[in-house]
A and B are shown apart, each in its own frame.
Chain A
Amino acid sequence: MASEFAIRNLNKVFTSQGKLPVEALRDINLTIADGEFVSIVGASGSGKSTLLRIIDGLETASSGTVHVDGRRVTRPGRDRAMVFQQDSLLPWRTVLDNVAYGLLLGGTPRAEAAATAQRFVDLTGLCGFERHYPHQLSGGMRQRVNVARALAMDPKILLLDEPFASLDAQTREIMQSELLKIWQAQRKTVLFITHQIDEAVYLSDRVIVFSARPGTVREEIPVPFPRPRELSVKRTEQFGRIVDRIWQHIEGEVRRSMGLEARSAA
């Protein structure tokens, strides 16, 4: 019971002066097992990124709790590491220095941090690019560095916020299977956020479907495919059925939010 990652009765309302409060998340309850790969999908505006930021500690919940290993978390810590959607690598640090960044902040001695960083540079296929600066890399490689930087912290939980959203379709597919390989080797608990249903199904043990405004857990769908998974699993009939089922849940939300936007624009 202690070794679990649990979110209990979590609510988030954004209030800012002179504006109506915005309810982003309502009554979220989630329990994620050790080493489980869970994805959250939902229409834009469903608060999935907000949830991830609360778990990481960048944002505080209005009410409710997040527990990791039985300890309540309220601020960033070494047990969680985030892979950001945007390009958040520090432009003035080389690949190796970016990967070592979190370790150095935490007081790991320079030589040890460099050795650890080198292991994750190798693991993510960046060998030979250690001395490059981020602007010298392609988008796919920059996201590898992003993943390596988070993994180097040896967190218990890896949080990924639409990490492949800005990549082209082919690169994204490759990165998905690479991520699975790394996960297979590292066995972290992963919470992955995406708006791409097939990405969520391919990667996850379980897909959580969020409704929009406020975000609530609408459905939990287990993904039965055995591991390790090949990319070809995406072409099977069963895969298509699961994607369809999730899409039916989301479709209404997307239409609703589009309708809302159309009305407010008129």
Chain B
Amino acid sequence: MSTATEAKSSVYEKIGLGLGQDTWNATLLRNVLSVVLLLVVWDLAARYLVQNRLILVPPIEVLRALIVDARSGEILTHSYATLMEIFVSFPVAVALGVLVGVVLSANRLVSQIAEPLLTAFYSVPMVALAPLFIAWLGLGFGSKFAIILLVAVFPVIITTEVGLRSTDKVYLEAARSFNATPLQIFTTVQFPFALPYIIGGVRVSFARALVGAVVAEFFGAFAGYGFAILAAGQNFNTARLLGYVVLLGLLGMLGSIVLRWVERKMTPWKEEA
């Protein structure tokens, strides 16, 4: 802990907010604060800066558009479609990513052969393949599942492999000295060591899964946030378009909060790091 951070957090404590603390409540409070700040700036900009309502509408109109869609049941339809895509594809991507990462870390030759491919796949924007997947798998769930899986799996593969491989030799020796079997070394040393890396990859992966879902829906779908955003854009309904963008933002924020909570629960030894 550096003196600079200490000084900073003590200033916050003097103001009486305790916002700089690394506690659960302070984290929630910070999230609420940034949302409120965004709404205020947005509202001021729409009132005084950008008068053209095709380009920007104030938050209250966006809320009205969302209420209209909520009454008609459209929000439910689109939310169900997008959430289903993400909540099925994302966990599969995480599980598959960890599995592949483990296999790669266990076998140097396989890893060396796979590495150029992995690097290529990781850096190419996978969404470029979206039209192809829609042609193969249709407008329904299948194409969305494939695209989300493809964009979300790579960060997890890479962080899992790196985490497992970089396990400190000192810990491995200690385990060997206590006669640990290879499986025990994996479960009690390598995996716990890699866990913070893996969770970092999962966070990146969640953000990519959201992008994947929306882009996949852009290229053809029956429902979903991406579908709704595209439709609203074609009708020049800026309020409705922004409404679904806001919902996506909330989903991203919620995911980030949940993953942070998971991280705290799973890696308690990191709490002061």
In contact, A84 and B272 (Cβ under 8 angstroms): no
Contacts of B170 in A (CB 8 A): 84, 86-88
B48 neighbours in A (Cβ, 8 Å): none
Q: Are A82 and B177 in contact (CB under 8 A)?
A: yes
Interface residue B176 (Cβ < 8 Å from any Cβ of A): yes
Q: How far is the CB of A44 from chain B (nearest CB, A)?
A: 19
Chain A residues in 8 Å Cβ range of B177: 56-58, 76, 81-82, 84
The answer, yes or no, to whether B140 is at the interface (CB within 8 Å) is: no
Q: How many residues on the B side are at the interface (Cβ–Cβ under 8 A)?
A: 22
A88 contacts B174, C-beta separation under 8 Å: yes
Please tell me which one of the listed residues A58, A88, A135 contacts residue B171 in the complex, with CB atoms under 8 A apart: A88
Which residues of A lie under 8 Å from residue B176 when comparing CB positions? 58, 76
Please tell me if B180 contacts chain A, counting CB pairs below 8 Å.
yes
CB-CB under 8 A from B180, the residues of chain A are: 105
| Most chain B beta carbons < 10 A, residue from A81, A88, A153 | A88
One of B54-62, B130-138, B149-157, B184-192 contacting the partner: B184-192
A101 and B192 contact, CB distance less than 8 A: no
Closest to B184 in A: A105
Task: Give the residues in chain A near B171, CB-CB below 8 Å.
Answer: 88, 90
In the complex, which residues of chain B have a beta carbon less than 8 angstroms from the beta carbon of A75?
179
> Which of B174, B267, B272 is the one whose CB lies under 8 Å from A92?
B267
Q: A133-169: which have CB < 8 Å to B?
A: 133-136, 153
Asked whether any CB of chain B lies closer than 8 Å to the CB of A224, the reply is no
The residue in chain B whose Cβ has the minimal distance to the Cβ of A91 is B269
Docked-complex contact B179 and A84, CB < 8 angstroms: no
Selected from B181, B188, B272, the residue in CB contact (under 8 A) with A101 is: B188
Residues of A within 8 A of B267 (CB): 92
* Secondary structure class of chain A's binding surface, majority of residues: loop
The answer to whether A135 touches B269, judged by C-beta atoms less than 8 angstroms apart, is: yes
The size bracket of the interface on A is 20 to 34
CB-nearest residue of chain B relative to A159?
B177
Looking across the interface, which residue of chain A has its beta carbon closest to that of B267? A92
Assuming the contacts A101-B178, A135-B269, asked whether A90 and B192 have C-beta atoms less than 8 A apart, the reply is yes
Q: Report the Cα distance A90→B181, complex, angstroms.
A: 16
Q: How far is the CB of B239 from chain A (nearest CB, A)?
A: 49
* B178 (CB) vs chain A CBs: closest residue: A102
A134 proximity list for chain B (CB < 8 A): 269
Give the chain A neighbours of B269 by CB distance below 8 A: 91-92, 133-135
User: Which residues between 85 and 127 of chain A lie within 8 Å of chain B, taking CB atoms?
Assistant: 86-92, 101-102, 105-106
Are B188 and A105 closer than 8 Å at their CB atoms?
A: yes
A229 to chain B, nearest CB (A): 29
Closest to B266 in A: A92
B175 at interface, CB cutoff 8 A:
yes
Can you report 16 A-B residue pairs in the complex whose CB atoms are below 8 A from each other?
A58-B177, A76-B176, A76-B178, A78-B179, A82-B174, A84-B170, A84-B174, A86-B170, A90-B174, A90-B189, A90-B192, A92-B195, A101-B178, A105-B178, A135-B269, A135-B273
Nearest 6 CB-CB pairings of A with B: A102-B178, A88-B174, A92-B192, A133-B269, A76-B179, A82-B177
Please give the residue numbers on chain B whose beta carbons come within 8 Å of chain A beta carbons, in ascending order.
170-171, 173-181, 184, 188-189, 192-193, 195, 267-269, 272-273
For the complex with contacts A76-B178, A90-B188, 16 further pairs of A-B residues with Cβ separation under 8 Å are: A58-B177, A75-B179, A81-B177, A82-B177, A84-B173, A84-B177, A88-B173, A90-B189, A91-B269, A92-B192, A92-B267, A92-B269, A105-B180, A105-B181, A105-B188, A106-B178
